[in-house]
Structure formats: structure tokens, C-alpha cells
Amino acid sequence: MRLSLPRSMVRTIQRAVVEFEMLAQGDKVLVGLSGGKDSTFLLYALTVFSKHLPFPVELGGITIDLGFKEESEMDFDSLREMCDSLGVPFNVVRAELADDILHNPQQNPCARCSYFRRAIIHNYAKTNGYNKVAFAHHLDDAVETFLMSIIYSGQITTFLPNTYLDKTGVTVIRPLVYLRESEIAGAGRKLGLPVTPSPCPLDRHTKREAVKVLIRNLKKDNPNVFAHLAAAMRDSRNAQLWPRELTKEEIRAKSHEFWFNQD
């Protein structure tokens, strides 16, 4: 297989890898393969990119089957064939967790699914000698996560491009963070990369999908909405935020000082 990517995409991935120090000599990188368009593109892109690095990087692929369908109904042949053609070892890990994910009243099913999936991948990486895990989150994912955190949890946060995990000693990298979802989808179609439908019954009926629609609608009135949200994610001296909320004890002490300790 002759591997190639448009120069513009290579430069964009290179910018992320260099800026956030994602790759180094001797890295063994485990790529999380959901089977969707983003993760298959990530594996392909990293395979291409790694061949031009000044040092060797070893890649592996892993798919987590959380039991949303019977094992006999799951088909990972296209992913396995892709990995074989790229010369990348591929493994599937099944965990019967679907019932817990879908029927746990204390946690959002998407958050719980993501937690289990990440935990299994991180532990697999640690056990099998991978020092890094690569996920296919792109710029749209980062902006959507940023807006979701504000709307649904009252926090100003999003995922980081490079994160070291103390518990496992594994570093999570996201080499596609500067690429847009539409770019990845278009490239995947041109390359003929496989796409495996999600087995999750909640697919496309999530809070993330609602936020996608919200951003799309806001852009109709202001085409710069996405760019402004992306800019707002950055640590900036221009940020003007309220101070943290005081505890009841702090409020009580300040009130006492205001009413009784005036000079």
C-alpha cells in the first residue's frame, strides 16, 4: 500500500505534534480505534507521519467492545484488514459493560462509556509496554467539549492535547486537534478508509450532538462563532472571569467583618 496525505494535513498534524511535544524517540503508541471515521484516519495518518520522523515510533491499534451487541454480531474484519495493510498489530478487548453504562442512574451514559473505554485502553497500554495512547479527537471535538462543559457542568474546561496520567504512567496524545471534522471526513472518503457503524443505541442522540446543532445554528447568524469559541479555549491574559465562589464559612467571615469590624 502506498501511503500518502495532502501536505496541508501533514503540516497541520506536524504543528500539533511539535507544539504539544507529542512524540519522542522510542515511543510506543497505542491508537484507540472505535471504527469511526476519525480513529481510522488517525491510525492511517500516524502511520504516514511516523515514516518521516527522524526517530522510530512503534504503533499499535486497539478496539474496545463494551457489549452493546452480542459478540457474534460484531464484525471487526475491516479494521483488522486495515491494520494488516499498514503493518500495525491490532487487538480487540471485549468487556460486558453495556447494561451498566445504559442503566446507571447516577451518571450520564456517554460519560460512563468514555470512562470505561479510556480505563481499559490505558490499562492495556501499561500492561503491554505502550507509553502513549493516541485518541482521534479533532478541533470540533475540543470546541464542543468546551461549550458542553460550560452549559452542562458550569466549568470552563476541555481536554488537553497532551496529558500525562499519573496512575498508569501513560501519556495521552491527540495529534488531530488542529484538524476540522469535515477535513478528516473528506480525506477518509478519498482514501477509502473503513468505517464501522457504532453499536451504541444512543449514537447521534447525545448532548454532544445537541451542541453540534447549537453551534451550527449560531454560525448561521455569525460565521465566526466557531473561531471565537476555539480562541476562548486558550489560556489568555485577556480573560476576565469572576473570582471563585466563596464557601459558606468565607462568606460568614466577610459578612462579620463588613458589619462589625469597620474602622
C-alpha 134/C-alpha 13 separation (Å) is 13
What's the pTM? Answer: 0.91
State in words which class domain 7-141+157-196 has: alpha beta
**Which residues have a Cβ under 8 Å from the Cβ of 112 and sit 6 or more positions away?**
100, 101, 104
10-24, 135-149, 200-214: least confident range: 200-214
Q: What does the H/E/C string look like for the chain? A: CCCCCCHHHHHHHHHHHHHCCCCCCCCEEEEECCCCHHHHHHHHHHHHHHCCCCCCCEEEEEEEECCCCCHHHCCCHHHHHHHHHHCCCEEEEECCCHHHHHCCCCCCHHHHHHHHHHHHHHHHHHHCCCCEEECCCCHHHHHHHHHHHHHHHCCCCCCCCEEEECCCCEEEECCCCCCCHHHHHHHHHHHCCCCCCCCCCCCCCCHHHHHHHHHHHHHHHCCCHHHHHHHHCCCCCCCCCCCCCCCHHHHHHHHHHHHHCCC
The domain ranges of the chain are 7-141+157-196
Sign of CA dihedral 111, 125, 29, 76: negative
CA-CA distances (angstroms) from residue 89 to 45, 124, 127, 255? 16, 14, 15, 64
129 alpha carbon, distance to own chain's centre: 22
C-alpha 136/C-alpha 36 separation (Å) is 10
| Cβ(193)–Cβ(15) below 8 Å | no
pLDDT at 252 (0 to 100): 95
Residue type, 166: D
Q: How confident is the model at residue 263 (pLDDT cuts 50, 70, 90)?
A: low
Q: How confident is the model at residue 245 (pLDDT cuts 50, 70, 90)?
A: very high
> Averaged over 106-128, what is the pLDDT?
92
Q: How confident is the model at residue 1 (pLDDT cuts 50, 70, 90)?
A: low
pLDDT at 226 (0 to 100): 97
Angle (CA) 82 172 200, round 5°: 55
Average of per-residue pLDDT values in the chain: 94
Adjacent-strand bridge partners of 163? 172
